[in-house]
Amino acid sequence: MSDLEAPLRPKRKKIWVDYFVQFRWIIVIFVVLPISFTLYFLTYLGDVWSECKSFEKRQKEHDENVKKVLKRLKDRNPKKDGLVCTARKPWIAVGMRNVDYKRARHFEVDLSAFRNILDIDKDRMIARVEPLVNMGQISRATVPMNLSLAVVAELDDLTVGGLINGYGIEGSSHIYGLFSDTVVAYEIVLADGRLVRATKDNEYSDLFYAIPWSQGTLGLLVAAEIKLIPVKEYMKLTYTPVVGNLQELAQGYIDSFAPKDGDQDNPDKVPDFVETMIYNPTDAVCMTGKYASKEEAKKKGNKINSVGWWFKPWFYQHAQTALKKGEFVEYIPTRDYYHRHTRCLYWEGKLILPFADQWWFRYTLGWLMPPKVSLLKATQGEAIRNYYHEMHVIQDMLVPLYKVGDALEFVHKEMEVYPLWLCPHRMYKLPVKTMVYPEPGFELQRRQGDTHYAQMYTDVGVYYAPGPVLRGEQFDGAEAVHRLEDWLIENHGFQPQYAVSELNEKNFWRMFDAGLYEQCRRKYGAVGTFMSVYYKSKKGRKTEKEVQEAEQAILDTPDVEEC
């Protein structure tokens, strides 16, 4: 057996959950989709109503809501009340991990009103927004102005707060970094009820660098100032097929956006957008995009493809046609391109509704898509949730660019999940060591894609049922994820915390760096007020006793000043 061959596995005996999952599409069509559409529509009306208000009125409402949060925190009795968390229901979160920490006694702070765009400053090129503003809302407001956030995560429902406190990426991240790298300032309510503004060069600069990946465990985010960039009306997208083994596919992907001469900051050599989809161990399609004006897109002979229409083929399937017809170019309206994966949830929609990609469904019911992830979670019981944890993979692997081929081979051998999504991003060398950080000395290696100030990483998106599960074979999802995490630790990779994790506390802090985070936890009073990021990310139920003991252990440990 070659190194790339997956091990032979015995057949798995079906149980009642298998049949429930197989026919879950009935609940999705008759319950989840209609409710999802209604919620999307009501959210849209709320966004329109918000846009009708002046920025001054939105700011006034924001100030009033912040005062309520400050009062709520100051009214908390640390001896009687539980740890602080938001009042957001667990099933509403887009992430796939269990939000069991909210089942224990806790002190809720309601942030549901923080969903307004507070300002779009064209002079400073900054958007000031509240944490529950989502990507669909912000792109709807900015793209008609020929402006955009530097990094716009693909799915409409992803919120600013989630992308900052957690993780966010897009096809422009090879230029701008992760979503949190584009933030200019955070407005944070600390454990003691103070409101502070953290930037990279003010007195709260340590907090500024510690907030990303902290999962809201250092304070409550109430607003953020985020970088805007000028954009054009269309994206000129080139689809390039690549054929070969996994290492050759990886090199084709790298070559699509990283000049071999190291001129990574040259806009003439580097595309505005990059992504690659690997459909099987020998076939991939690399997509590179450049912003284009309306005049260019409408020139005779150019093809315009408005992929946002509900009846259009799903984007990943449309891109796959390049494997048969060869390289081609088309122009996609910019906002349609930003949200190209929303309707089919990348390719997860194929598992949720196996026939939803068929022309007859797209034309008749495609306008109801996509189902809200929160409702999919709300309509699954404990048994279904556990089934998906064992028989399904939704993981992102952030790995150094030069190790992408090795990562692809690992995923093939351990999971056999296809398609795979590849998206590059810069990992900046910062003045302080944050929870995620580039490899020490990377700038001396001068590898393809790297610069002296940032190492190029890649997100390997692993979303689908593994090959053994599709073939009816035995598959241990927990063990597969455990091996994936070990591989990431050994290869200086990182696992976004929205996903189900098998990490114990020791390995969690082997993957991530605790130094700055724990320093800020102590300095700003988060210990004993907010749950630590490890316990918030930990799989399984968290008892109040367990968490409180962990917080007390930190308080009892002498504070050691960094050298």
The structure tokens 């080139």 sit at: 238
Evaluate if residue 2 carries a pLDDT over 90.
no
In this structure, are 80 and 164 located in the same domain? yes
Cβ contacts of residue 357 below 8 Å, gap of 6+? Answer: 313, 314, 317, 344, 349, 350
CA distance 273 to 239: 12
Structure tokens at 416: 């056999």
Beta strand pairing status for 147-149 and 183-189? unpaired
Report residue 78's pLDDT band, with 50, 70 and 90 as the boundaries: confident
Structure tokens at 305: 């493809």
Q: How many CB atoms lie within 10 A of CB 131?
A: 23
Find out whether 401 and 447 touch, Cβ atoms under 8 Å: yes
In this structure, are 370 and 474 located in the same domain? no
Report residue 390's pLDDT band, with 50, 70 and 90 as the boundaries: confident
pLDDT of 237-260, one tens digit each?
999 999 999 999 999 999 999 999
State the average pLDDT over residues 10-18: 84
In 82-192, alpha helices (H) = 135-142, 160-165, 173-176
In this structure, are 461 and 372 located in the same domain? no
- Does residue 321 sit within a domain? no
**Domain finish residue from 230, 261, 293:** 230
Cβ contacts of residue 305 below 8 Å, gap of 6+? Answer: 312, 318, 330, 331, 332
Residue 291 has what pLDDT?
98
Q: For CA atoms 304, 307, 311, 317, give the dihedral sign.
A: positive
Report residue 547's pLDDT band, with 50, 70 and 90 as the boundaries: low
420: CATH = 3.30.70
Q: Strand, coil or helix: what is 220?
A: strand
Structure tokens at 255: 């070559």
Looking at residue 463, its amino acid is Y
Evaluate if residue 458 carries a pLDDT over 90.
yes
- Kindly tell me the burial class for residue 515, based on how many C-beta atoms sit within 10 Å of its own C-beta (0-12, 13-18, 19 or more): middle
- Does residue 428 sit within a domain? yes
The structure tokens 């989709």 sit at: 33
In this structure, are 112 and 27 located in the same domain? no
Mean pLDDT check: name the lowest of 69-78, 185-194, 517-526.
69-78
Structure tokens at 509: 């802090």
In this structure, are 92 and 199 located in the same domain? yes
In this structure, are 366 and 423 located in the same domain? no
CA distance 269 to 120: 31
- Does residue 88 sit within a domain? yes
Cβ contacts of residue 44 below 8 Å, gap of 6+? Answer: none
State the average pLDDT over residues 116-135: 96
Structure tokens at 105: 């006694």
Q: How many CB atoms lie within 10 A of CB 353?
A: 23
**Domain finish residue from 502, 520, 535:** 502
CA distance 29 to 369: 10
State the average pLDDT over residues 99-126: 84
Give the number of C-alpha atoms closer than 13 A to the C-alpha of residue 276, restricted to the C-beta side.
29
In this structure, are 364 and 441 located in the same domain? no
Q: Strand, coil or helix: what is 225?
A: strand
Residue 183 has what pLDDT?
98
176: CATH = 3.30.465.10
CA distance 181 to 144: 24
In this structure, are 159 and 44 located in the same domain? no
What percent of the chain stands above pLDDT 90?
74
CA distance 250 to 406: 9
Q: Strand, coil or helix: what is 3?
A: coil
Q: Is the peptide bond before 419 cis (omega within 30 degrees of 0)?
A: yes
Structure tokens at 308: 């946002």
In this structure, are 90 and 198 located in the same domain? yes
In this structure, are 37 and 184 located in the same domain? no
Residue 555 has what pLDDT?
62
- Does residue 543 sit within a domain? no
Report residue 3's pLDDT band, with 50, 70 and 90 as the boundaries: low
What residues make up the domain containing 467? Answer: 386-502
Mean pLDDT check: name the lowest of 199-203, 266-270, 547-551.
547-551
Structure tokens at 41: 């529509």
Residue 378 has what pLDDT?
79
CA distances from 40 to 10, 33, 53, 143, 446 (A): 44, 10, 20, 20, 47
Evaluate if residue 550 carries a pLDDT over 80.
no
Evaluate if residue 355 carries a pLDDT over 90.
yes
Find out whether 437 and 430 touch, Cβ atoms under 8 Å: yes
- In DSSP terms, which residues pair with 134 in a beta bridge? 159
Evaluate if residue 35 carries a pLDDT over 80.
yes
Structure tokens at 291: 């912003």
Triad 117, 120, 125: Cα angle to 5°: 135
Residue 79 has what pLDDT?
79
In this structure, are 33 and 136 located in the same domain? no
pLDDT of 391-434, one tens digit each?
899 999 999 999 999 999 999 999 999 999 999 999 999 999 99
The one-character DSSP state at 9 is: -
Evaluate if residue 560 carries a pLDDT over 70.
no
Find out whether 433 and 512 touch, Cβ atoms under 8 Å: no
Could you give the maximum distance between any two Cα atoms of the chain, in Å?
Answer: 72
Alpha carbon 431 to its chain centroid, in Å, reads: 25
Average pLDDT, the chain: 91
- Does residue 94 sit within a domain? yes
Report residue 561's pLDDT band, with 50, 70 and 90 as the boundaries: very low
Evaluate if residue 323 carries a pLDDT over 70.
yes
Look at the chain and report how many structural domains it folds into: 3
- In DSSP terms, which residues pair with 455 in a beta bridge? 427
In this structure, are 373 and 398 located in the same domain? no
Greater confidence (552 vs 116) lies with 116
CA distance 467 to 465: 7
- Does residue 453 sit within a domain? yes
Q: Give per-residue burial for 140-169: e unless 16+ CB within 10 Å, then b.
A: bbbbeeebbbbbbbbbbbbbbbbbbbbbbb
- Does residue 168 sit within a domain? yes
Q: How many CB atoms lie within 10 A of CB 372?
A: 20
**Domain finish residue from 205, 230, 255:** 230
pLDDT of 187-222, one tens digit each?
999 999 999 999 999 999 999 999 999 999 999 999
- Does residue 397 sit within a domain? yes
Reported residue count of the chain is 563
pLDDT of 476-517, one tens digit each?
998 999 999 999 999 999 999 888 888 999 999 999 999 999
Structure tokens at 412: 């093939």
CA distance 275 to 337: 12
Cβ contacts of residue 415 below 8 Å, gap of 6+? Answer: 393, 462, 466, 467, 480, 484
CA distance 83 to 464: 35
Residue 102 has what pLDDT?
58
- Kindly tell me the burial class for residue 76, based on how many C-beta atoms sit within 10 Å of its own C-beta (0-12, 13-18, 19 or more): middle
